Structure 1
Amino acid sequence: MGATASKLEKALGDQFPEGERYFGLENFGNTSSLFGDGFSLLEQLLEYYSNNKNVAEVDENLLTCLADLFNQCQIVARLTPRSDWRITEINSSKKKTGVIAPKRFVQRVKKQNELFRSYMHQDAHEFLNFLLNELVDILEKEGNDINDSPGTSSQAEQNVNGPVHLQENGAKKEPLLTWVHKSFQGILTNETRCLRCETVTARDETFLDLSLDIEQNSSITSCLKNFSSTETLNAEDKFFCDKCCSLQEAQKRMKIKKPPNVLVIHLKRFKYIEQLGRYKKLSYRVVFPLELKLSNTVENADSEYSLFAVVVHVGSGPNHGHYISLVKSHNHWLFFDDENVEMMDESHVQTFFGSAQEYSSNTDHGYILFYENLSVGN
């Protein structure tokens, strides 16, 4: 290994994955708080760039900027879209590590949403929702525009990587299934049982991530069980039963009907405390396993997931701090802090579970978790 080799290259040595490059992203003031997502959309974004590179020069949007950034890096590994994105680059360069400045993308984000224009600390989960929903809106609009043109339905399907269906009367289209949906979208079913007639009413809703309430010295498994626990509706919260035609006591629970390919779990570490009149960070210790079995699904069948990325919030409160990321690539765990990329031991992941005591000097806590469905493609 040459004298110019980075610390990471020296640490990996002969185990450095062939053809891959690990790059951090330069931090533009508050941009370390702008990015908080875990992507497995490499192929779709590169294909989108290839199909729209001429359009991108004329009609720029958040998706074209993101696709352009991916094209510049030719990413292979998953990344966390923040200033310290975990980027694995393939290009003709012999350089295996380095720093990239995502100026065009960051400028577009600030232009698109005034929330991210200041230098104040921003929430990574809010950005995750903004980014994914914005990508979906762009893809759906482009797909619908193209599909409305005669003889272009196949091109529309290519753009959104999903089929377009018509209702029987041919009047309305079902929502387009974009590649964002195919990666992140799951389905929840909200079941309400009337305690008088025992009729069960079920309502489905889609989700791109799960936000879980947390408790001290708990685990992701227990948080998921609480998420799906049964709640009794009574007093002023009684349920209107269509069969009884009146308000009745009922039991309500949320279950996962269709698990997503990429399960994104957001730990609700920021809670509004009425006595304080402000939000407070919960430094609770919440164990997140490397391998997770997702139970409590409608089919009552476990789905097995593997942890591949963690967004960590560093700081004592919600209005200030920093984000770092942990990413697993080729059985190696990497630690990303803006421009700095280092190798870390797998056992070190548990140091980001949180604090067992209320007052602790440790302020580095897992905030957003990314799990990959191991059964996909099997």
Structure 2
Amino acid sequence: MGAASSRLEKALGEQFPEGERYFGLENFGNTCYCNSVLQALYFCVPFRDQLLEYYANNKSIGDVDENMLTCLADLFSQISSQKKKTGVIAPKRFIQRLKKENEIFRSYMHQDAHEFLNFLLNELVDILEKENKSARESLPNHSSQKTSNGPINGQLNGSDKELAATWVHKCFQGILTNETRCLRCETVTDRDETFFDLSLDIEQNSSITSCLKNFSSTETLNAEDKFFCDKCCSLQEAQKRMKIKKPPNILVIHLKRFKYIEQLQRYKKLSYRVVFPLELKLLNTVDNSDLEYSLFAVVVHVGSGPNHGHYISLVKSHNHWLFFDDENVEMTDESMVQVFFGSAHEFSGNTDNGYILFYESLAEKS
């Protein structure tokens, strides 16, 4: 890493703000799934700022129980307060807490980065909601206090309830609406549900835009799949589609690269070429406005299957791209992103594929 390291140190002194830190994370035995996601989250600036603010507000409270939130806040604080601009930090306390909280991550086997991200965000929300509830209950006449925390994932009650108030929700949560139109009476039934990320089916030689279009494509419900229409009071043929009702500030896209093959009785990795642009227009929204997002992080899966391999991440910071591979941190070029689109051939030696994409709303940045 010698030449690359010196290039990074030189660039850090000339091209990056004084306060930024770029630290690799030590691997504690197949913990690359964790390290790669943590780097993406660290360079998700709205999330990082809120977490560091949480740390500053709570570090003086001596009796706060250690949990995933306090351990993550402590880790981000360690990184941001380092005297040097680059180096290596051991996220030992965070990994120990992760293994204590969830048995899935206790073994030294290869784990799934998307599964870890889902667990972490939901765990943070759970902790924050409990803290908010305790704070409300400590207020006088707390029974009349309006609760502002909504569901994390799943169905919303009502058309568009006030979104949950935790800062994790404000960063990542959006709302999908599932529209079902009865083909007999034309009545449209809407059902809303929240999401932290969109999991997209992928096809060979496609793009994120086409994957999103497929995600929102109209599906006909007929034969055994007929829809029970409340107005007709009977099963009817219907059309349904999913649209984005409220886009999130941070759009996380998970590419479903692991597919269960019935004949093989196992999961197979799809190394399909899926182009993900640096600037993304979100077209399939309820109000049909073209929302623009900018790519700032990519978690890459390296390897031929779901149960073995490696994770690395690319992040964008102050208009420069950096490459994180556990302890190693290097400067890289914007064109490097294209390397991880996938392979145009079914069988290829290139198994380094974009797996989780992080986009930030340009409206949020402005």
Percent identity, aligned pairs only, is 79
What does 1:58-137 correspond to in 2, within 5 Å? 58-74=64-80, 90-91=81-82, 93=83, 95-137=84-126
How far 1:147 sits from its partner (Å)? 0.3
The structure 2 residue matched to 1:195, chosen from 175, 183, 205, is 183
How far 1:70 sits from its partner (Å)? 1.5
Residue 193 of structure 2 is matched in structure 1 by 205
How far 1:180 sits from its partner (Å)? 0.3
Amino acid at match of 2:250: V
Amino acid at match of 2:6: S
Residue 338 of structure 1 is matched in structure 2 by 326
Q: Distance in 1 between matches of 2:77 and 2:141?
A: 26
Unaligned runs of 5+ in 2: 151-160
Q: Are 1:146 and 1:152, in contact at CA under 8 Å, matched by a contact in 2? A: no
What does 1:305-316 correspond to in 2, within 5 Å? 305-316=293-304
Residue 26 of structure 2 is matched in structure 1 by 26
- Aligned to 2:59, what secondary structure does the other structure show? helix
Change (3 A) 1:42 1:12: closer
CA deviation vs aligned residue, 1:205-263 (integer Å, no higher than 9, x gap) = 00000000000000000000000000000011000000000000000000000110000
CA deviation vs aligned residue, 1:269-315 (integer Å, no higher than 9, x gap) = 00000000000000000000000000010001010000000000000
Q: Distance in 2 between matches of 1:25 and 1:336?
A: 9
CA deviation vs aligned residue, 1:105-142 (integer Å, no higher than 9, x gap) = 11000000010010100000000000000000000011
Change (3 A) 1:29 1:377: closer
Q: Distance in 2 between matches of 1:151 and 1:47?
A: 26
Q: Are 1:140 and 1:176, in contact at CA under 8 Å, matched by a contact in 2? A: no
- Of 246-255 and 32-41, more deviation after overlay is shown by 32-41
The structure 2 residue matched to 1:144, chosen from 133, 144, 150, is 133
Q: Are 1:26 and 1:101, in contact at CA under 8 Å, matched by a contact in 2? A: yes
How far 1:179 sits from its partner (Å)? 0.2
Q: Are 2:294 and 2:360, in contact at CA under 8 Å, matched by a contact in 1? A: yes
How far 1:58 sits from its partner (Å)? 4.5
Q: Are 1:191 and 1:252, in contact at CA under 8 Å, matched by a contact in 2? A: yes
How far 1:6 sits from its partner (Å)? 3.4
Amino acid at match of 1:212: L
What does 1:1-378 correspond to in 2, within 5 Å? 6-11=6-11, 14-35=14-35, 36=37, 38-39=40-41, 40=44, 41-55=47-61, 58-74=64-80, 90-91=81-82, 93=83, 95-151=84-140, 176-376=164-364, 378=366
How far 1:348 sits from its partner (Å)? 1.5
How far 1:15 sits from its partner (Å)? 2.0
| Greater relative contact order structure (CA < 8 Å, 6+ sep) | 2
How far 1:43 sits from its partner (Å)? 2.0
Q: Distance in 2 between matches of 1:50 and 1:14?
A: 29
Change (3 A) 1:15 1:175: closer
How far 1:163 sits from its partner (Å)? 5.2
Unaligned runs of 5+ in 1: 75-89, 166-172
Q: Distance in 2 between matches of 1:189 and 1:26?
A: 41
- Aligned to 2:104, what secondary structure does the other structure show? helix
Change (3 A) 1:57 1:24: farther
CA deviation vs aligned residue, 1:304-342 (integer Å, no higher than 9, x gap) = 000000000000110000000000011111011011111
Q: Are 1:6 and 1:97, in contact at CA under 8 Å, matched by a contact in 2? A: no
Amino acid at match of 2:358: F
Q: Give TM-score, length-normalised by structure 2.
A: 0.89
